Amino acid sequence: MLTLYHAPVSRSSRLVQLVHELGVADRVDIRIVSVDENAPASARSPHPEGKVPFLVHDGVEIRESNAIILYLCDLFPEAGLGPQVGDRDRGRFLSWLAWYGNVVEPVIVTGAAGLSHPLLDLTFRGMPDISARLAEALADAPYLMGERYTAADLLLVSPFAWFADALPDDPNVRDWFARCMDRPALKQVAEADARHKAKAA
């Protein structure tokens, strides 16, 4: 049994989108939870740190967005959203997923917080470096992995939906952003999240 714990309008929204993109919404139990520490214990995420997303598969717990994305893409390979072991593009796909967690999110979050330090710049680089890598990848292809949309696009585009000012000012990157934001599954999740939020208000 697959259970995905989800708090509407949060990082877990992209995982709900992935479930729809994979075409397995009927095989994943999506449970709405709260990440508010003041919420009743019964309503909070069972994640050890109270976070989302949190995936449980037959009792096995999987944390962190990029790990859950890889897990689900490998579990449902027929959707073609992530190259499988043996595919020559597998390494590039894994690199995008790791780069998101190791570089992109730290850079965007520390930038939004107004933090600046030489050690941060040395470790993570900065937005110019992120912009350059995305622009290079998208110069001759509509998506990060080439001609097809993959879960790498789903993950890498997500922070720019939250921090629009951080979106690189490159026409190819902006076109990629628009294509990814126009996905029917994304719109479906946004509408469902809005309904949950309205109901909870």
Render pLDDT for 23-42 as a digit per residue (tens, 0 to 9).
999 999 999 999 988 888 88
CATH class for domain 90-183? mainly alpha
Listed residue (103, 67, 63) closest to 82, CA to CA? 67
Render pLDDT for 116-164 as a digit per residue (tens, 0 to 9).
999 988 888 899 999 999 999 999 999 999 999 999 999 999 999 999 9
What b/e string do you get for 15-32 counting C-beta neighbours within 10 Å, with b at 16 or more? Answer: bbbbbbbbebeeebebeb
CATH 1.20.1050.10, the chain: domain bounds: 90-183
CA-to-CA separations, 172 to 19, 108, 113, 142, in angstroms, rounded: 27, 20, 27, 8
Render pLDDT for 37-76 as a digit per residue (tens, 0 to 9).
888 888 999 999 999 999 999 999 999 999 999 999 999 9
Listed residue (26, 28, 134) closest to 71, CA to CA? 28
CATH 3.40.30.10, the chain: domain bounds: 2-81+185-200
Q: Is the pTM of this model over 0.85?
A: yes
Chain centroid, CA 167 distance in Å? 16
Under CATH, which architecture does the 2-81+185-200 domain have?
A: 3-Layer(aba) Sandwich (3.40)
